[in-house]
Amino acid sequence: MAYFANGSSGEVFDEQCSRCRFGKVACPIYLVQVEYNYQACNNKVARAILDQLVRQDGTCEMFQLDPDFFAAESAVEEWQPPLFKG
């Protein structure tokens, strides 16, 4: 999902991230959504990539593959995201 058209889609995504073992900090799906969702709106390829990761309703595709695994106790302790040069 390259752009959350309404607040409820974003809320679904945030709620699911709060239950994920990787959380928001370490998750590459969350990172690309936050960093590139707005810019991807007018880029066909970027939007297609983000659409494969998060559904229109805000549901994370990775979380849906194995909810028991992703909802397990946090596997990430003091992980820090890498610095990106933009």
pLDDT tens string 18-77:
888 877 666 888 888 878 877 887 888 888 888 888 888 888 888 888 888 887 665 555
Find tokens 């805000």 and name the residue.
58
**Backbone dihedral angles phi then psi of residue 60, each to the nearest 5 degrees:** -75, 125
Residue type, 7: G
Cβ-based neighbours of 15, under 8 Å, separated by 6 or more: none
| pTM, full prediction | 0.63
Q: How far apart are CA 71 and CA 69, in angstroms?
A: 6
- Residue 70 contacts residue 62 (beta carbons within 8 Å): yes
